[in-house]
Each structure stands twice: as structure tokens, then as C-alpha cells.
Amino acid sequence: MSDSYATEGALSPDRDQLILEHIPLLKHIAGRMNFDGNGSIDGDDLYGFGMLGLIAAADAWDVKRGLKFSTFAYPRIRGAILDELRRNDMLSRGCREKVRLLSSVVSRMEQEHGVPPLPEQLAEELQLSMEQVDAIMVSASQAVETTLTGEDGSMLDSLLSDPRAEDPVDSAEWKETKMLLVKVIEELPDQEKTVIALYYADGLLLREIAEVMSVTESRVSQIHGRALYRLNRELTANTNNDPTNPDEESLWTDS
């Protein structure tokens, strides 16, 4: 059924029907937010948290505003999941300390050099392997989503955030961003480019990407985190550039 379905004179389509028809959207969002590499967060829990957001969206949506229900519901489903994750504080004290160290090093090196450091430069500065930096970035992504923002993570926040998290479809801001992203991903290392393409262009979940690449899901999560960091670093550097290659926009259509 189309999002625009409504009976004449009604403020919104039938609430229960809306919820049922958008359960696939809920499952999609919950599946793509299962970023806990330790397995302590159950996918069913994320689904349950998101259902609260979907129900709230169905209660609040007004078809007369002209906004598609899927667009209206997306941030509310995602926000409901994040609210519960914040309450549960998923990071251990040790992980949180590593995240804060990474954040402080990123901020310091950005101030010193005028541009955020590359992942390889972070590994050298911290005297860690790339795999160790990747693991901290996964924890940092989790912290950015939940409780780190506003503490010491403003730079790290922007570098690890999903570029389209708050603009899933149709917004002018996302349309401009995705054209620039097409250009930037061409410069990613092959492994990172593959993960980004499968995740965004093909809409695969991390576990599905792991099967395609014959690696573990946790490794895909690490590669995804590093790729997001690198993408956002390049987006920051190219903020004032005009978007190019508009014909490639279809690669970034919402999955």
C-alpha cells in the first residue's frame, strides 16, 4: 500500500494497518543497528525497542502534512532504539576509556594539522595495530550513538556517524550529500569500498556482507566503522566543493 493511502477526511490511515505494513522497515532499521560486537544485545530486543517507536509514529502521523509515513517513522523507530541503548549503557569502563583516548587523539591531531588524522596515522600515534584501532572505532561508533556525544566526542561523533542516519529519503540535504559520497567512495581502499557498496547500495545487513566476503560479522563491523570514519573525513575536507557525477545518484537511493 502507498504511504499516501487515506480515507477522505481522515487525519491518517488506520493505525494498526500502518504498523503492520511498516514492520519490514522496523526490521530493516533494527538489523542495521545491531552493531554490538560482543553479542550482548539481542536482535529481538532491538526489534522490541523499535516497535515502540513505530507505534508512537503511527499515533502521531498526520497525512495532511504531506510527509510519507516511512520518512516520518524512520527517525522515531531509530530514536526509540537509541533511547533504550542509552539507558543500558552498553560500553564497559575499559572500552569507554579507550574511546575517550581515541577521541582526544583525533581532536588533538585535527587541531595540529587542520584535518582529522587518517586511521593509519591514528594507529601510528597510539602505537596500536590497525585491527586494534578498528575495534576501538566499533566501540566508539556505539558510544557516539548512545552516550559519548556531548562529552569529548564532537569531532569523533561527526567522523563516525552514518551520513544518512537522519535523512533516509527525499531530503535536499541528503540528495546533495549522496552525490558527493559517490565521488568520495571511489577513493576508498577496496575492502572498505566493498563494504560500503554492499551496505548502502545493496542494503545488505552486516551478517549478509560477512557471508559475501567470507569474514566474520565483527570484522565487517570493524571495516564498516573504519570506512565511515574515512568517508566523513573526506566529506569534511570536501564540504565546499560542488557535487559531481549526478548521473551516479542512483547508487545511493534509499534501500
38: pLDDT strictly greater than 50: no
Phi and psi angles of residue 215, each rounded to the nearest 5 degrees, phi first: -130, 175
76: pLDDT strictly greater than 80: yes
Q: CA–CA separation, 171 vs 238, rounded Å?
A: 20
Range picked from 35-44, 78-87, 121-130, 201-210 for highest mean pLDDT: 121-130
53-62: Cβ within 8 A, 24+ apart: 53/77, 53/78, 53/79, 53/80, 53/81, 54/19, 54/22, 54/23, 54/25, 54/26, 54/80, 55/19, 56/80, 58/12, 58/15, 58/16, 58/18, 58/19, 58/22, 59/15, 61/12, 61/18, 62/11, 62/12
Q: CA–CA separation, 144 vs 153, rounded Å?
A: 7
Give the model's pLDDT for residue 236: 76
> Which pLDDT band holds residue 6 (cuts at 50, 70, 90)?
very low
Give the model's pLDDT for residue 89: 61
Give me the mean pLDDT over the 92-115 stretch. 87
27: pLDDT strictly greater than 90: no
Is residue 104 helix, strand or coil?
A: helix
209: pLDDT strictly greater than 70: yes
Looking at residue 178, its amino acid is: K
Mean pLDDT of the chain, nearest integer = 76
- CA-angle at 189, arms to 166 and 203, nearest 5°: 40
